Structure 1
Amino acid sequence: MNEGPPELVVANATVVNSFGRQQAHIVVRGGRIEQLQDADLPVPTAQRTIDAAGRLVIPGGVDGHCHVAQVTGRFSTLDDYAVTSTAALWGGTTTIIDFGIPADASETPLAAARKKKELARISRCDYALHGSVIEWDETVPGQLEELAVEGIRSVKMYTTNRGTTMANSDTILKVMRDMVRLDGLTYIHAEHDAIIHDCTEQHARGGTIGIEHLPETRPELAEEASVKEVLAMAEYVGAPVYFVHQSTPGAVDLVAEARRRGQDAFSETCPHYLALDDTVYRGSFPEWYACCPPMRSPQTVAALRARFAAGAIHTVASDHSCYDLAQKRERTDDVRAMPHGLPGVETRMPVTFTTLMEHPGARVEDFVEVFSAGPARINAVPGKGIVAEGYDADLVLFDPEEQRTVDGRALHMGTDFSPFEGKALRGWPAVVVSAGRVVVSDGSFRDPGPVGRFIHRGGFREHSTPSAATLLARA
């Protein structure tokens, strides 16, 4: 029996989960939610009480797609886990999922994942990992088994980037089959390599290969052709498949059609594909927006946003990659030679919230689904994504009407720019609680030290069944 008052009570809270909302006092003990008391009852005594009146309380964000301390060719991102996890907490994200991607052919998938796991020991928030396979050999099944035992139950593969991270179709099919055996999830970066390679080389021959031409070198067709091909392979072996950073409505529609046929397929997009379009490459700082896929036309973005508002997109992840402007500007003359990726773990919450809530009829519950609940459920992350008794005390308090303007220099991601510079956004966290610790409050950060826990993820099908807490809350 617990003795003494709980460590924390968040009083008078309007708790918003993906499945509904309620008024409650949230009682936190030992890093978990001990009780949700009816808000009509007196506020329980606690070591610390936060009055949430006038604010919404949602589950801490789960960012299923981050790249931390990533090495890509001769470029290395400038962050480490201390920096990125701190920025995540500032942005209302309490769990990040990184990738163990082999640096070259000499590094095995298992070694790459274990290296990241070791680097993550300084994380300030909880974290999990995806594995990655580039080339199949007879050792891969055993490595995937070891990763699953260690709680790494997903594997990312790239259908492009020949000579570096690309996996061929044979490798993708074999890994998918093994992930079915291990009740895991296959992550796919989908861009058709032959189309990308040919298009890029044609632009290089024509002298139109600078950053301002990035969208032309990676057409929408390349993304959709790859999604269609991968869905066919996933259907063939019965594998659940998750597509990262989808940037076109056509790609999202292909996944939706597959789901109607009974496939387990999921669409992820990123804040920059919802909030920015390809006119940024004609502006003063096109290098700020070097990422793959690139930003799309205003018409495509409008259609993607419509799919987002309709619920066809399952998660929004940052695809956080922390390069700085000096790295970006080394080779703006050639998109093949410059680093691609944007900082975004800290701004995922306000960009996503603002974009979604601009649509008539949009609900905060829908935001919670793509920001927290969906990523936790699809990625089989236990204890996350729901404000309910027995779940981790990962909480975000915010005023949905408060607006702030993005100042890249005031952010905490370890770089010197934000692709959302100057944008007025709503949905900034005011108070962030991570594992029961108040880490963000009143515009300040209380560094908890390297307390982040590695989250041992469950099986995909095992975890996709709604939990008792979810069913109870929906009743």
Structure 2
Amino acid sequence: MSDTPELVIANGTVVNSFGRRHAHIVVREGRIDQLVDAAGPVPAATRVIDAAGRLVIPGGVDGHCHVAQVTGRFRTLDDYRTTSTAALWGGTTTIIDFGIPRDARETPLEAILHKKELARESRCDVALHGSVVSWDETVPWQLEQLAAEGVRSVKMYTTNRGSTMADGDTILKVMREMVRLDGLTYIHAEHDPIIADCTQQHADDGRIGVEHLHRTRPELAEEVSVKETLAMAEYTGAPVYFVHQSTPGAVDLVTEARSRGQEAYSETCPHYLTLDDSVYGSVMPEWYACCPPMRSPQTVAALRERLANGAIHAVASDHSCYDLSQKRERADDIREMPHGLPGVETRMPVTFTAMMEAARGGEARVEDFVEVFAAGPARINALPRKGTIAPGFDADLVIFDPAEERVVDGAALHMGTDFSPFDGRTLTGWPAVVVSAGRVVVDSGGFHDPGPVGSFVPRNGFTEHRDALSWPQESRPAVYAAS
């Protein structure tokens, strides 16, 4: 076997969440072998890519994707081949999907084993979240089996009665189990009684089409649910992660809980940072059917401020690949239509553009972008060897020019659907070269399909990983001192 490394990314500015340096990145057997100061010669390699004048960041970690998801009578149109390909086109090299029971007959463990089998077709690495809908005496054992499979988080919904909703007793009991198993509780937080009542009132008035979606799910419903869930997490001592937070009030509740010492985290999505509820008055409101819905322009601006000041810990796509025919089938009744947006491919430029806009004329720090795009999701979700450019970490790398602008063409994307909610928008910060596990999968020549080589990534325990890999300022490796 040759000692020559397979790849060197030369002369780039390596940007991690905690600093940057000019370096040559040496890649061997799918991992980062070493970083060599760029003042020295470029090491020999089978392939050398010159990144002079450009930034090199860790491959993205999208902690919230729905692949081949079945909800009621609707199924998203993607599979792992499609979604992982789109992820790589967008600079994301690891996705985390959900094993959500398709109906009452499927157990949480069966749902995970089913998704693990489907994930064999993935082109990028995959991890999984479990999900519990209802409690029975088998759930503790099933959660133990999930942990043994490397699935260390469980998602529960506080709304969607009759399908995915977990009641308060179930949520509290699962939180206790996740503490025992050193795991993380994921929560979709919307107060179901408020939503059910508000939706019924609109239906009674004949205002139940998608153009009224934003009025049926008020900000109060999200914030009340976050507050209640934080109380249960405090009571049980459970770390808790809130998906797709759409209001500054919800984020502030998490910030306040953290100030009291709780392990609580806020995630938002690119669409909540860039789209407002005026989209429901457009000629195609079905393009924007998701839950929670888009909020007022004032709320969007305040949410971007929270992102800019570091109160939001991860930006995830909440990718759900329906097409317009599925959306339009029951656009007349939001209770019947599928909700969710395609976004795994556009997460990088939408997020980066939103952070630039939040900087208000200043320069957005790429380090802060790396934190919410890759490092934070990897750390919070206890993913080994992800989210950082350092020796021993996986060679998941993205070369990009933060000044590059492109106009989104939904038809030219690769997500397996026929629209993008960002169609026609000018976005900044696209990937030029994407390296996944040491393989160059995107470059100026397009996409180089590596085949079904994506690995399933077993996750560490939450506190185990946090204690081992959270580097405080004073103990970061010297090679990452900010420059």
State the TM-score, normalized to the length of structure 2. Answer: 0.97
Matches within 5 A, 1:198-217: 198-217=197-216
Match of 1:301 in 2: 300
Give CA deviations for 1:39-79 in whole Å, capped at 9, x if unaligned: 01100110000000111000000000000000010100000
- Alpha-carbon displacement from aligned partner over 1:442-464 (angstroms, at most 9, x marks no partner): 05000000000000000000111
SS in 2 for 1:447: coil
How far apart are the structure 2 equivalents of 1:279 and 1:464? 41
> 1:471 maps to which residue?
476
**Closer, same or farther in 2 for the Cα pair 1:410/1:443, shift >3 Å?**
farther
Count of residue pairs brought into register by the alignment? 474
RMSD: 1.0
Distance in structure 1 (CA, Å) of the matches to 2:397 and 2:73? 39
Q: Distance in 2 between matches of 1:333 and 1:104?
A: 25
The code of the aligned residue for 1:377 comes to R
Aligned to 1:171: 170
CA deviation digits over 1:178-224, x for unaligned, max 9?
00000000000000000000000110000000000000000000000
Tell me, in whole angstroms, the C-alpha distance in 1 between the residues paired with 2:320 and 2:63.
Answer: 13
Indicate the SS of the match to 2:130: strand
- Cα distance in 2 for partners of 1:242, 1:420 equals 26
Distance 1:347 1:443, change over 3 A: farther
Pick the aligned partner of 1:375 from 374, 377, 380.
377
Gaps of 5+ in 2: none
Instruction: Indicate how the Cα distance of structure 1 residues 255 and 468 shifts in structure 2: closer, same or farther if over 3 A, else same.
Output: closer
User: Match of 1:75?
Assistant: 74
Tell me which residue corresponds to 2:388. 386
Q: 2:354 aligns to what?
A: 355
Corresponding residue number in structure 2 for 1:224: 223
Aligned to 1:402: 404
Secondary structure, counterpart of 2:399 in structure 1:
strand
CA-to-aligned-CA distance 1:426-448 (integer Å, 9 cap, x gap) = 11100000000000000500000
Taking the aligned partners of 2:318 and 2:240, their CA distance within structure 1 comes to 17
Q: Given that residues 430 and 443 in structure 1 are in contact (C-alpha distance below 8 angstroms), is that contact kept between their aligned partners in structure 2? A: no
Q: Counterpart of 2:266 in 1: which secondary structure?
A: strand
Q: What code does the residue aligned with 1:299 have?
A: Q
Separation (CA, whole Å) in 2 of partners of 1:458 and 1:4: 31
**What is the Cα deviation at residue 465 of structure 1?**
2.3
After the TM superposition, which residues 244-259 of structure 1 pair with which residues of structure 2 at under 5 Å, given as runs?
244-259=243-258
Identity of paired residues, percent?
77
Q: Tell me, yes or no, if the aligned pair for 1:396 and 1:429 is still in contact at 8 Å.
A: yes
- Please state how far the C-alpha of 1:4 moved relative to its aligned partner: 2.6
* Alpha-carbon distance between aligned partners in 2 of 1:3 and 1:204, rounded to the nearest angstrom: 69
Q: How do 1:310-389 and structure 2 match up within 5 A? A: 310-358=309-357, 359=359, 360-389=362-391
**2:95 touches 2:126 (CA, 8 Å); kept in 1?**
yes
Task: Determine the C-alpha separation between the residues in 1 that align with 2:311 and 2:403.
Answer: 26
Maintained 8 Å contact 1:151/1:457: yes
Structure 2 counterpart of 1:453: 455
For 2:111, the equivalent position in structure 1 comes to 112
Q: Distance in 2 between matches of 1:418 and 1:377?
A: 29
Return the offset for 1:472: 1.2
Contact 2:30 2:394 in 1 (8 A): yes
> Whole-Å Cα distance in 2 between the matches of residues 466 and 118 of structure 1?
30
Alpha-carbon separation, structure 2, partners of 1:437 and 1:158: 37
Residues 379 and 469 in structure 2, CA contact (< 8 A), matched pair in contact too = no
Listed one character per residue, the Cα deviations across residues 6-43 of structure 1 (whole Å, up to 9, x for unaligned) are: 00000001000000000000000000000100101100
Q: Distance in 1 between matches of 2:470 and 2:171?
A: 35
Flag the 1:112–1:25 CA change in 2: closer, same or farther, 3 A.
same
Does the 8 Å CA contact 2:134/2:170 hold for their aligned counterparts?
yes
- 1:361: how far off? 4.6
Which residue of the partner structure matches residue 9 of structure 1? 8
- Alignment of 1:101 with 2:93, yes or no, is no
Tell me the distance in 1 between the aligned counterparts of 2:261 and 2:3: 51
Q: Per-residue deviation at 1:390? A: 0.5
List aligned pairs for 1:234-245, cutoff 5 A.
234-245=233-244
- Secondary structure at the aligned position of 1:412 is classed as coil
> Aligned to 1:188, what secondary structure does the other structure show?
strand
2:99 touches 2:115 (CA, 8 Å); kept in 1? yes
Amino acid at match of 1:404: R
The normalised TM-score by structure 1 is 0.99
| CA–CA separation in structure 2 for the residues paired with 1:297 and 1:13 | 40
CA distance in 2, matches of 1:343, 1:438: 24
Supply the AA of the counterpart residue of 1:255: V
Corresponding residue SS for 1:342? coil
Check the 8 A contact 1:13/1:55 in 2, yes or no.
yes
Shift of 1:468: 8.4
Q: Which residue in the other structure is 1:28 paired with?
A: 27
Give the counterpart letter for 2:339 in structure 1. Answer: H
1:279 aligned counterpart, secondary structure:
helix
- The equivalent residue for 2:131 is 132
Q: Secondary structure at the match of 1:465?
A: helix
**Pairwise CA distance, 1:357:** 1.6
- The residue that corresponds to 1:431 in the other structure is 433
Report if aligned partners of 2:101, 2:107 keep a CA contact under 8 Å in 1: yes
Q: In structure 2, what is the Cα distance between the partners aligned to 1:3 and 1:173?
A: 55
Q: Which runs of 5+ in 1 are unaligned?
A: none
**Cα 1:91–1:443, aligned 2, differ >3 Å: closer, same or farther?**
farther
Cα distance in 2 for residues equivalent to 1:454 and 1:374: 19
The 1-side partners of 2:438 and 2:391 are apart by: 13
How far does residue 471 in structure 1 lie from its aligned partner after superposition?
2.3
1:467 and 1:391 map into 2 onto residues whose CA distance is: 12
